Structure 1
Amino acid sequence: MAHIYTPRSLSDIRELRMRIETEDPLFYGLKKLKMRGRDLSNIPPALFHISELEVLDLSPERESCLTFKLTFVPRAVSKLINLKVLVLDTNELDELPIEITKLVNIERLALSNNHLSGLPEGFNKLTKLRSLHLANNEFEGFPMQLCDIEGLEFLDLCDNKLQVLPAEISRLTELHTLLLFVNRLEALPDTICDMTNLHCLWIGNNLIKQLPRAFGNLKYLDWGIRCTSSTLDGNPLVSPPIEICRMGPDAIEKYLNSSRGDMSSRNSLNGVPNGGQHRTDDESDRGQSRSSRSKNGSGKAKKTSNGRETRKNTRARRERNMQLHEYSDDDI
């Protein structure tokens, strides 16, 4: 049924339009409306008829009473077709309506500090989305639809329950900030090393023991003690140790390459092919040694025979003994 505009509803629209601002330093020039207090627990229907809105903030003020929170997002939100920014932080949301996927012009969506565990079907239709905030929710699995939003630049999934990152995350080639602080990750996929546009990566306070071999490819990261762009602390890291990580990507790359080289050397020394070759060479050496000794023995025998021939007349008395005994060179 079409909405019937009553004098009250028309006055509500006019009142809300008077509250629109365009000089917020964060969204300068955009038409912004922030709802406060009781309006959050009972959003006026007139709001969804202000189609020119570009920024809508429905997050409660932290310094004011937090008892007024959204428990659901009205389906009428789909009417705000010009929205570029929607802020829904710090509410009591446990799901999003599928209608939110009709906000095809949305660029920034803030959903942190709620109870979300998934995203609605069709979320990947938000192809203009550049910044997504999902910190402090209930995600146990990585939302796979995000891998289809290839223009995404900022993704915050801190303080969730993630155990695995999909290899497909590397499809987010424009991502420059990936925040995964405080999760349950035990490893990172090798494909994360292909995300060379990353400037900020927070993976502290997880269960990661080893970094991917090509991790040094992420040259834009700063792994210094300042930890301004990246964090690894709070992981049981073994390869490389945290001390190496704090020296930066070049040190990480050098360590991992060195470890790989050492492993290759050990395999070369202990492997069957090389070990077999060593044994063959040793046996060849021993064979040559035996041959040499055999030749030397033959030479000595020949010399002895010649000696006996030259001394035959003077050693006649030893003829019989020579048939029974073998004399040394000293005896000849």
Structure 2
Amino acid sequence: MALSHYMFTPRSTADIRTFRLRIDTDDPLFRGKKKLKMTGRELGDIPKVIFQIHELEILDLSPERESCLNYKLLAVPRAISKLTNLNVLILDTNELTELPEEICQLVNLESMALSNNLLESLPAGFDNLQKLRSLHMANNQFQDFPRDLCQLENLEFLDMSDNELSMIPESILNLKNLHTLLLFLNKLSALPDSITELKELHCLWIGNNNISRLPQNFGQLTNLDWDERYTSSVLDGNPLTYPPLEICRQGVQAIDRFMRSSDLNGHKLVNNTTWAKT
């Protein structure tokens, strides 16, 4: 892979380090982007001079190898607000319990990775990040779905799997551009009716929750990819009765037929799966 490099030398005489920003010209995701990766012991004491690199576009502060896991980031420096040109911020697999409000000033962020931390909430003003298209927050400690997320109208990918969520707000319908929503391994007992308004959804993983009933119009999510790669993960691990899991496994068309054929009051549920294939 061809690599070019951009060199940044701090002007401060107090810190004579020279940092190398990698520009990976072959990466279609980050072509031409100025990137800084720090791991291991570097995460224990991030030099303040890093936040003078105003042209930085990608900052990766996550351990990249098992040997680095002894060194994790415990807090995000408030000075991160100075990196106003950041497009990508990677903070996963650390021990973060909170994020500073200053992170909400990074209004050019398009992708943020926060998975595998100890987060329970997001800072006030998170909905300022209107350019966010991809947000990874799996394996944290969220019990409540952050309401600010529902104001990020450009969001296309959201991963909140492996948390402790008990409900999803109706306002999720604001995320009209969402094509991937990962919510498996939570404590959801139901889905909001408004989730059926997300017509761009191609991937919806809600397995391993406590869901017994799908929204009446769930069959309208006709863009869901229901091939063998996804079926086992979409709904398995839920105590589904409406429709039964064996019908759900046949895809959204079978679900839609079930909903249309069932009594609107829910008294006469169809449990025979043979008709769904006709």
Equivalent residue, structure 1, for 2:198 = 195
Partner of 2:93: 90
Displacement after TM superposition at 1:37 (Å): 1.4
Runs (5+) with no aligned partner, structure 1: 267-332
Change (3 A) 1:265 1:113: closer
Please give the alpha-carbon distance, in whole angstroms, between the structure 1 residues aligned to 2:233 and 2:203: 5
Shift of 1:28: 1.9
Give me the whole-angstrom Cα distance separating, in 2, the residues matched to 1:262 and 1:119: 39
Task: For residue 176 of structure 1, report the CA deviation from its aligned partner.
Answer: 0.6
User: Partner of 2:130 in structure 1?
Assistant: 127
Larger radius of gyration: 1
Q: Is the 8 A contact 1:222 1:229 kept in 2?
A: no
Q: Which residue among 21, 24, 35 is the counterpart of 2:23?
A: 21
Distance 1:8 1:219, change over 3 A: same
Query: CA–CA distance in 2 between the matches of 1:29 and 1:172?
Result: 30
Aligned to 2:179: 176
Q: CA RMSD in A?
A: 2.0
CA distance in structure 2 between the partners assigned to 1:106 and 1:228 by the alignment: 33
What pairs up with 1:59-74 in 2 under 5 angstroms?
A: 59-74=62-77
1:151 aligned counterpart, secondary structure: coil
1:37 is aligned with what amino acid? G
Q: Which runs of 5+ in 2 are unaligned?
A: 1-9, 270-278
Write the distance in 2 (CA, Å) between the matches of 1:22 and 1:77.
Answer: 23
Query: Aligned pair 1:75/2:81, yes or no?
Result: no
Pairing partner for 1:107 from 107, 110, 126: 110
Q: Which has the higher strand share?
A: 2
| 1:219–1:249 Cα contact (<8 Å) kept | yes
- Is 1:32 matched up with 2:35? yes
Which of 252, 260, 263 aligns to 1:257? It is: 260
TM-score (normalizing by structure 2): 0.88
Instruction: Tell whether 2:221 aligns with 1:218.
Output: yes
- Look up the match of 1:234: 237
Number of the residue aligned with 1:151: 154
Alpha-carbon separation, structure 1, partners of 2:231 and 2:80:
37
**Matched residue of 2:42: which SS?**
helix
Structure 1 residue 153: Cα displacement = 0.7
In structure 2, distance between residues paired with 1:206 and 1:73: 32
Report the secondary structure of 1:222's partner residue.
Answer: coil
Q: Structure 1 residues 204, 67: CA separation in 2 closer, same or farther (over 3 Å shift)?
A: same
- From 2, 7, 13, the equivalent of 1:7 is 13
Q: Which residue of 2 aligns with 1:50?
A: 53
Which one scores higher on RCO, CA 8 angstroms, separation ≥ 6? 2
Native 8 Å contact 1:150 1:171 kept in 2: yes
CA distance in 1, matches of 2:229, 2:81: 43
Runs of 4+ residues deviating >6 angstroms: none
TM-score (norm 1): 0.74
From 161, 166, 169, the equivalent of 2:169 is 166
**Once the 2 structures are TM-superposed, how far is the Cα of residue 263 of structure 1 from its aligned partner?**
5.7
Q: Which has the higher helix share?
A: 1
Q: Structure 2 vs 1, CA of residues 265 and 165 (structure 1 numbering), >3 Å: closer, same or farther?
A: closer
Shift of 1:264: 8.5
CA distance in 1, matches of 2:265, 2:123: 48
1:175/1:167 Cα in 2 relative to 1: closer, same or farther (>3 Å)? same
Query: Is 1:141 equivalent to 2:144 in the alignment?
Result: yes
